Amino acid sequence: MTRRVRRKVATKAKVALPCYPEVENEVLGSERNGVVDWTSLPYDSVIQLFSSLNYRDRASLSSTCRTWRGLGASPCLWSSLDIRAHKFDAAMAGTLASRCANLQKLRFRGAESADSIMYLQARNLNEISGDYCRKVTDATLSVIVARHEELQSLQLGPDFCERITGDAIKAIAFCCPKLKKLRLSGIRDVHGDAINALAKHCPDLADIGFLDCLNVDEGALGNVVSVRFLSVAGTSNMKWGVVSHLWHKLPKLTGLDVSRTDIGPSAVSRLLSSTQSLKVLCALNCSVLEEDAGFSLGKSKGKLLLALFTDIFKGLASLFVDSTKNGKNVFLDWRNSKTKDRNMDDIVTWLEWILSHTLLRIAESNPQGMDEFWLKQGAALLLSLMQSSQEDVQERAATGLATFVVIDDDNASIDCGRAEAVMRDGGIHLLLDLAKSWREGLQSESAKAIANLSVNANVAKAVAEEGGINILAGLAKSMNRLVAEEAAGGLWNLSVGEEHKSAIAEAGGVKALVDLIFKWSSGGDGVLERAAGALANLAADDKCSLEVALAGGVRALVFLARNCKFEGVQEQAARALANLAAHGDSNNNNAAVGLEAGALEALVQLTRSPHEGVRQEAAGALWNLSFDDRNRESIASAGGVEALVALAQSCSNASPGLQERAAGALWGLSVSEANSIAIGREGGVPPLIALARSEAEDVHETAAGALWNLAFNPANALRIVEEGGVSALVHLCSSSVSKMARFMAALALAYMFDGRMDEFALTGSSSEGNSKSVNLHDARSAALKKIHDFVRTFSDRHTFSTTTASSAPAALALVTERARIQEAGHLRCSGAEIGRFINMLKNPCTTLKACAAFALLQFTIPGGRHAMHHAGLMQTIGAPRTLRTAAASATAPFEVKTFSRIVLRNLEHHLKEPSI
At 586 the pLDDT is: 76
H or E segment and range at residue 36 = strand 35-36
Q: Which candidate, 29, 8, 1, places its Cα nearest to that of 571? A: 8
What is the tens place of the pLDDT at every residue in 647-696? 999 998 899 999 999 999 999 999 999 999 999 999 999 999 999 999 99
Task: Check whether 42 has a pLDDT greater than 90.
Answer: no
Distance between CA atoms of residues 723 and 107, nearest Å:
68
pLDDT, tens digit, for every residue of 844-853? 999 999 999 9
> What percent of the chain is modeled with pLDDT above 70?
90
Indicate the pLDDT class of residue 58, thresholds 50, 70 and 90: confident
Q: What is the pLDDT of residue 766?
A: 56
Task: Give pLDDT tens digits for 94-141.
Answer: 888 888 888 999 999 999 999 999 999 999 999 999 999 999 999 999
24 or 799, which is more confident: 799
pLDDT at 341: 81
What pTM value is reported for the model? 0.87
| Averaged pLDDT of the chain | 89
Q: What is the pLDDT of residues 345-396, one digit of tens each?
A: 999 999 999 999 999 999 999 898 899 999 999 999 999 999 999 999 999 9
Res 260 pLDDT > 90: yes
pLDDT at 548: 97
Bridge partners of 408? 413
Give strand ranges (E) for 122-247: 127-131, 153-156, 181-185, 189-190, 207-211, 215-216, 229-231
The sign of the torsion formed by the CA atoms of 284, 289, 292, 296 equals: negative
Q: Are 226 and 203 in contact (CB under 8 A)?
A: yes
Higher pLDDT among residues 787 and 58, named by residue: 787
106 has which bridge partners? 81, 128
Do 705 and 697 meet the contact criterion of CB atoms below 8 Å apart?
A: no
Q: Which of 32-36, 813-817, 837-841 has the highest mean pLDDT?
A: 837-841
Q: Is it the case that residue 202 has pLDDT exceeding 90?
A: yes
DSSP 117: G
Under 8 Å between Cβ of 75 and 101: yes
Dmax (CA) for the chain in angstroms is 114
Whether pLDDT at 2 is above 50:
no
pLDDT digits (tens, 9 = 90+) for 149-179: 999 999 999 889 999 999 999 999 999 999 9
Instruction: Return the pLDDT at 14.
Output: 36
Burial of 589 per CB tally in 10 Å (0-12, 13-18, 19+): buried
pLDDT at 409 over 80: no
CA distances, 253 to each of 129, 297, 303, 346, 361 (Å): 24, 19, 12, 12, 24
- Exposed, middle or buried, 134 (CB in 10 Å: 0-12/13-18/19+)? middle
| DSSP state for residue 295 in the 8-state scheme | -
The mean-pLDDT minimum among 174-188, 329-343, 357-371, 848-862 falls in 329-343
* Contact residues for 511 (Cβ-Cβ < 8 A; gap 6+): 551
CB atoms closer than 10 angstroms to residue 242: 15
Confidence of residue 731 (pLDDT cuts 50, 70, 90): very high
Cα–Cα distance list, 347 to 229, 248, 769 (Å): 8, 18, 89
Does a cis peptide bond (omega within 30 degrees of 0) precede residue 686? no
Lowest mean pLDDT among 220-229, 310-319, 750-759, 791-800: 791-800
Q: Which residues, 6 or more positions from 338, have their beta carbon under 8 angstroms from its beta carbon?
A: none
Nearest CA-CA partner of 790 in 857, 705, 733, 732? 733
Are the C-beta atoms of residues 102 and 74 closer than 8 Å to each other? no
The answer to whether the beta carbons of residues 297 and 273 sit under 8 Å apart is no
Q: What pLDDT is attached to residue 438?
A: 86
Cβ-based neighbours of 473, under 8 Å, separated by 6 or more:
487, 491, 504, 507, 508, 509, 512
Query: What is the mean predicted confidence (pLDDT) over 801-809?
Result: 59
- Is 773 a residue whose pLDDT tops 80? no
Identify which has the larger pLDDT, 755 or 535.
535
Q: What is the mean pLDDT of residues 65-77?
A: 80
Per-residue pLDDT for 27 more than 60?
A: no
d(CA 865, CA 870): 10
What burial class does residue 391 get, using C-beta atoms within 10 Å of its C-beta: 0-12 exposed, 13-18 middle, 19+ buried? middle
Q: What is the CA radius of gyration of the chain?
A: 36
232 φ, ψ (degrees, to nearest 5):
-125, 30
Q: Which whole number is the average pLDDT over 2-15?
A: 41
The string of pLDDT tens digits covering residues 570-616 is 999 999 999 999 987 778 889 999 999 999 999 999 999 999 999 99
- Answer positive or negative: Cα dihedral of 496, 500, 504, 510: positive
Q: List pLDDT tens digits, range 447-499.
A: 999 999 999 999 999 999 999 999 999 999 998 899 999 999 999 999 999 99
pLDDT at 886: 93
Query: Among candidates 731, 681, 677, which has minimal Cα distance to 703?
Result: 731
